[in-house]
Amino acid sequence: MGGNLTLSISTLLGFLLTLVRISGVFIFIPIPGATAVVNPGRVIFALATTIALFPLWPQVRADASIGLFVMWILMEAALGVGIGLAVAFLMESFALGAQVLGMQAGYSFAQMVDPNTQADSGVMPIFAQLTAGLMFFSTGLDRDVLHVFARSLETCPAGTFVLSRGAAEQLLAMGSAMFSTALRLALPVIAVMVMVDISLALLGRVNAQLQLLHLAFPMKMMVALAMLGWIAVMIPALFHAGASGALTAAMRLVAK
């Protein structure tokens, strides 16, 4: 005997609101090989995750008006984007720090294709983005983000999300922490680069016959590589600290 699959209007509306919320999260979540625009892979991933969360779909009134439903969609998108931004601030802090130190070390002249946007970009920002993306999955932060999202369906059903002042302040604090984390990564290399420039300048004053211009560029690049090898040991601890702040900001958004 064949069976018929029937879905109520309330279930379909709950599916749509859940899909809108999780799509807002996936806009900023780093997916390897994904481009900046919407692509089929990202859409399929959002649909699959939404279907997997079927037991947590909200029960929506079928008699809701169009205006009320549009307001719910906007609130769901705002919540999803807020969770995604908390993670994006953490990931972009590494790219920003690499951009700053790459310019001082001379790596800004070397360009490569960004796998995310397919555009030319500096070597150091691409390296930092790939490193942060690998740590995002290796540290289990992806599972924590899905856990926060599943909890948001329990604590903030459709149409009940209200951005509190504390959650907004926590999210803004993550934005400011992005710059502080980037400076903590770049300042040691920048300080050593300044010392190298001063040393070369003093050496050039002592002996004006030395052609230090041709030596300064490769010397700064080699010193920067040595400093990056030393900083790489501290990156996991720095990433864990930033991940804790991102999860705290995301949990404040979905808290009752």
Beta bridge partners of 111: 122
Look-up: residue for tokens 């900023």? 28
| Section 97-121 average pLDDT | 63
Q: What's residue 118's pLDDT?
A: 47
List the domain boundaries for the chain.
9-107+123-254
- Whether the per-residue pLDDT at 26 is higher than 50: the answer is yes
Instruction: Please tell me whether residue 203 adopts helix, strand or coil conformation.
Output: helix
| Section 219-228 average pLDDT | 80
The radius of gyration computed from the CA coordinates of the chain, to the nearest angstrom, equals 24
- Whether the per-residue pLDDT at 38 is higher than 70: the answer is no
| Section 59-86 average pLDDT | 80
Q: Which residues of 40-53 are buried (b: 16+ CB within 10 A; e: fewer)?
A: eebeebbeebbeeb
Q: What span, in angstroms and rounded, lies between the C-alpha atoms of 48 and 57? A: 14
pLDDT > 90 in the chain, percent:
0
Report pLDDT digits (tens) over 145-189. 888 888 887 887 766 777 777 777 878 888 888 888 888 888 888
Phi, psi angle pair for 6, to nearest 5°: -120, 135
